[in-house]
Structure 1
Amino acid sequence: MNNSPIVKEYSSEYQDQVVDLILNIQQKEYNIPITKSDQPDLFSIGDFYQNGKGNFWLALIGDKVVGTISFLDIGNQQVALRKMFVDKDYRGAKYNTASFLLKNAIKWAQDNEIKAIYLGTTPQFLAAHRFYEKNGFTTIGMTELPENFPVLQVDKKFYQYLVE
């Protein structure tokens, strides 16, 4: 059996799995007090993410969604990286799910003339911080974010990746 996930663009048949994956990680694993109603974007992924220079991808093992990543178009050939989540059973070197998702998204950014990727994250996602830094993201202050960057209430740490 191939351990590597397949990365593909979001389609609505995966809606329920995407919501379940993200909420489970946020609420149960990290105890973040966030609900479905706090995230209306999860119920209109196509309209919210898959337009302009934005997109949303899934990591699949068979028909199971094991990871997500998205770009939200914020104008000026810049995107906000959002909804980067990987099922805890599919993290790490065995599956490389996060790496596959991020590499796919960065390649897409290059092909679509994106100049910079920005992201905000929560202080408790320490493994995510290491992952982003290992993959070329640099820490920036909130004042260095583009004007159109949508800062979420839980975001306290910010990163930038300049696309080449």
Structure 2
Amino acid sequence: MNTLLNIREYQPSDQEQVLQLILNIQQQEYHIPITKEDQPDLLTIDSFYQQGNGNFWVACDGDQVVGTIALLDIGNQQVALRKMFVQAEYRGKVWNTATLLLQKSISWAQQQQVTQIYLGTTLQFIAAHRFYEKHGFQEIEVTQLPASFPVMQVDKKFYQLSVTLDS
């Protein structure tokens, strides 16, 4: 079924759907008390993420945004993986949405000659932990993060992926 999904770069016209998708997952599904005001990056996606080695992608089923992923350029050929969210109905092997989004972001990182991808996540996102580990991310301590990595208050678990450049 995943042939129906389109993974593409974020466009400003996607903003409202991206906001609704992310806030719904955070607030309703995981009961994290976070608002759009707590995440000003979601109001300036193009200028915040789509700079340097960073980018932001959406997974779409027709005109509906069903998933997101972003890479934030943190300098030194390193990026932070942020805003990985997939609508509940599009999770799992039937749609493969998360894998398609992650593959797109890693491919981009390779093209940009990024050497490491770092991420932070909450302790509640246990399925996400398994997903990242299955895709080669190694758990690291917060002290192993680059100084430029933006640690979010809710993040308590951290991962790193060394990006191998395709020949």
Report if aligned partners of 2:70, 2:84 keep a CA contact under 8 Å in 1: yes
Distance across 2 between alignment mates of 1:52 and 1:108: 12
Deviant stretches of 4+, over 6 Å: none
2:11 is matched with 11
Question: Is residue 26 of structure 1 aligned with residue 16 of structure 2?
Answer: no
SS at match of 2:51: coil
Q: TM-score scaled to structure 1, two decimals?
A: 0.98
Equivalent pairs, count = 164
In the alignment, residue 40 of structure 1 is paired with which amino acid? Answer: P
1:138 is matched with 138
In the alignment, residue 140 of structure 1 is paired with which amino acid? Answer: I
Gaps of 5+ in 2: none
Distance across 2 between alignment mates of 1:108 and 1:138: 20
1:37 is matched with 37
Distance across 1 between alignment mates of 2:82 and 2:162: 16
- Give CA-to-partner distance per residue, 1:2-38, whole Å, 9 cap, x none: 6541100000111000000000000000000101100
Distance across 2 between alignment mates of 1:79 and 1:17: 24
Distance across 1 between alignment mates of 2:135 and 2:55: 20
2:55 is matched with 55
Distance across 2 between alignment mates of 1:5 and 1:144: 36
- Give CA-to-partner distance per residue, 1:79-120, whole Å, 9 cap, x none: 000000000010001100000000010011011100000000
Distance across 2 between alignment mates of 1:7 and 1:72: 18
Report if aligned partners of 2:71, 2:82 keep a CA contact under 8 Å in 1: yes
In the alignment, residue 126 of structure 2 is paired with which amino acid? Answer: L
Distance across 2 between alignment mates of 1:125 and 1:140: 16
Distance across 2 between alignment mates of 1:162 and 1:4: 30
- Does the C-alpha gap of structure 1 residues 153 and 109 become closer, same or farther in structure 2, counting only changes over 3 Å? same
Q: CA RMSD in A?
A: 0.9
- Give CA-to-partner distance per residue, 1:38-75, whole Å, 9 cap, x none: 00000000000000110000000101000000000000
The alignment-based identity, stated in percent, is: 63
SS at match of 2:155: coil
- Does the C-alpha gap of structure 1 residues 89 and 148 become closer, same or farther in structure 2, counting only changes over 3 Å? same
